[in-house]
Amino acid sequence: MSDDMYVCPACGATYSLSSMAFRCRCGGLLDLAPFEPRFDPRSAGGERSIFRYVAAMPPFAGAERAWESARRRVTMGEGLTPTVPFDPADPELLVKVDYAMPTLSFKDRGAAVLVAAALAAGARMLIQDSSGNAGAAVAAYAARAGLGCDIYAPASTSPRKVAQIEAYGARAVLVPGSREDTAAAALDAAERGARDGSAFYASHVYNPLFYQGTKTYVYELYESLGGLPDTLYVPLGNGTLLLGAYYALKDLRSLGLIGSYPRLVAVQAERCAPVYRAYAAGRNAAEPVRNEGTEAEGIAIAAPLRGGQALTAVRELGGEVVTAPEAGLKPAKEAAAARGFYIETTSAACLAAYLERKARGVDDGRAALPLCGSGLKSA
């Protein structure tokens, strides 16, 4: 199989990374064809950005020059975020300050790679849909790349996130109704754009290149700690960080850099937990649920398209899916602020889950969790 293709796991069809493909003709979601990651933590580039791990990303064979110049153009030095003890007096819990990013959330990891790939593929216009942070990230990198950008978002999106998207020069298309209505409107626009070659669907859900960016989260942990902690907490809405972590852990294992996997704990919101429900019931497919209303808006994905894939990934690594108690979100956010970290409520979910498990006597050993969105983001 070629080194750099999108592949449809359902029917085996392949598509070039230089195409505008975002979904298989059969309707299946695309993954990347397997390729050899190259990563040496002792010589991980001199680059001060996530692209220090570019050797672990697809080689873009046949389009290496376009990829190289595109990524050099779009990078804003994202990544290399601090990993520090949550509490200075307690070395057992580490937090990675992933809101210390150009657009104030971890989504910059995925957006930098995806927008660079779109630019290298010759896109002139990007379409994306998001409840906020991914939209802001794609809008910022589109501005940097000189690409037009339409971001579809629910009409209920926090005004601060809409203002940020528009500040980058993107058009915010506010769609009445649910998050799913927004996704349908964006998909429709993306299909029209793909047909006439005018638009690239820069979706963090459809396009698997996004996970080639988010996987740098785990590489950085590995590099800065000289190994991995016993337990890794990650949020799970659509699963962009979870799937990135999965690919990175597989890479590190296949490179012989880790002998076993850390315990991966994927965290959903108690009131919107389709993947948790499937996990707890031993099912393989994450059936859509009704969002019962949660303050953790960023992970409140009632019908995650890659929910089954996320579940398989967690099971393969021997990890688990848990829920963050709704009543624990606000206290966790306050506990973070009391230690100097101003995070958005969604970001408090992993901490709330960690604290709740600890109170029950679960021993995570040394654990790490991401602080993935800034408190300045939400109202």
Ligand X SMILES: Cc1ncc(COP(=O)(O)O)c(C=O)c1O
Binding site for ligand X (CB under 6 A): 105, 133-134, 235-242, 298-299, 301, 344, 346-347, 372-373
Distance between CA 313 and CA 305 in Å, rounded?
14
Instruction: Give the residue with the Cβ less far from ligand X, 14 or 83.
Output: 83
Q: CA dist 309 to 236, 261, 316, 320, Å?
A: 12, 18, 10, 14
Instruction: Give the residue with the Cβ less far from ligand X, 44 or 319.
Output: 319
Q: Considering the complex, what minimum distance in angstroms separates the CB of residue 12 from Zn ion?
A: 7
Phi, psi of 218 (to 5 degrees): -75, -35
Question: At CB < 8 A and 24+ separation, what contacts does 58-62 make?
Answer: 58/3, 58/4, 58/17, 58/32, 58/209, 58/212, 59/3, 59/4, 59/35, 60/4, 60/17, 60/18, 60/117, 60/120, 61/2, 61/3, 61/4, 62/4, 62/18
User: Which two three-digit tokens encode residue 199?
Assistant: 């638009």
Distance between CA 346 and CA 336 in Å, rounded?
12
Answer with the entry of Zn ion, ligand X, none that 8 interacts with (C-beta below 5 to 8 A by kind): Zn ion
Answer with the entry of ligand X, Zn ion, none that 11 interacts with (C-beta below 5 to 8 A by kind): Zn ion
Q: Considering the complex, what minimum distance in angstroms separates the CB of residue 30 from Zn ion?
A: 8
Answer with the entry of ligand X, Zn ion, none that 376 interacts with (C-beta below 5 to 8 A by kind): none
Instruction: Give the residue with the Cβ less far from Zn ion, 209 or 252.
Output: 209
Q: Considering the complex, what minimum distance in angstroms separates the CB of residue 103 from ligand X?
A: 11
Instruction: Give the residue with the Cβ less far from ligand X, 197 or 293.
Output: 293
Q: Considering the complex, what minimum distance in angstroms separates the CB of residue 64 from ligand X?
A: 29
- Segment near Zn ion (CB under 5 A), from 19-27, 59-67, 78-86, 279-287? 19-27
Q: Considering the complex, what minimum distance in angstroms separates the CB of residue 269 from ligand X?
A: 10
Instruction: Give the residue with the Cβ less far from ligand X, 154 or 237.
Output: 237
Which residue, among 215, 228, 221, 240, has the nearest Cα to 309 in the 3D structure?
240
Instruction: Give the residue with the Cβ less far from ligand X, 60 or 106.
Output: 106
Q: CA triplet 354, 342, 172: central angle to 5 degrees? A: 105
Interacting residues toward Zn ion by CB under 5 A: 8, 10-11, 13, 24, 26, 28
